[in-house]
Amino acid sequence: MQGPAPDPTVARAVRLSQVTFADLAEPQSQNVAGTLFGGVLLGFIDRAAAFCAMKHAGRPVVTKSFDSVEFNEPIYIGELVVAHASVNFTGRTSMEVGVKVLAQNPVTGEERHTNTCYATFVALDDRGRPTAVPPVLAETDEEKRRFEAAQLRRDDRLARSKRKK
């Protein structure tokens, strides 16, 4: 059951909507190289980011876009896949969520940073139409750095979109 959405005029701290997802890389999700299939990882990232965006907006969201995703390190079957998601920036109805993915050896606890990506989500009202979201309140130096970088990425996305028209 959904309670009232947060006031879209009041900034919300990043920490209030951060999400960490973890799951095991299982054999049925492997690619021909014997590592985690990229599409499975993208679905995992999308779910973690969507829950983060929903916590921030207090409303249902839909995925608008993914920025470039690079698979820098393989995730091996049997490793724990951990995704840390945070809202980096908000527009009027949209949010950029940054996701950092780690692969963790469940026996030794050793972690490797495998991916970082950014996804944009749009909040929906009760009729399924875009609706205003609260601004993000960046409190720490790291959050402020991510906010500024996200603003540059948003400006770039908007410029690319205008060139296509």
Tens digits of residue pLDDT in 52-82? 999 999 999 999 999 878 899 999 999 999 9
pTM of the full predicted structure? 0.91
User: pLDDT grade, residue 161 (50/70/90)?
Assistant: confident
Topology at the third CATH level for domain 12-164? Thiol Ester Dehydrase; Chain A (3.10.129)
Cα atoms in the Cβ-side hemisphere of radius 13 Å centred on 38:
8
C-beta separation of 113 from 102 below 8 A? yes
Per-residue pLDDT of 13-44, as tens digits, reads 999 999 999 999 999 999 999 999 999 999 99
Contact of 101 with 48, CB cutoff 8 Å: no
Q: Give the residue extent of every domain in the chain.
A: 12-164
Residues 133/123, Cβ–Cβ less than 8 Å: yes
Question: What confidence tens digit (pLDDT) does each residue in 84-97 have?
Answer: 999 999 999 999 99
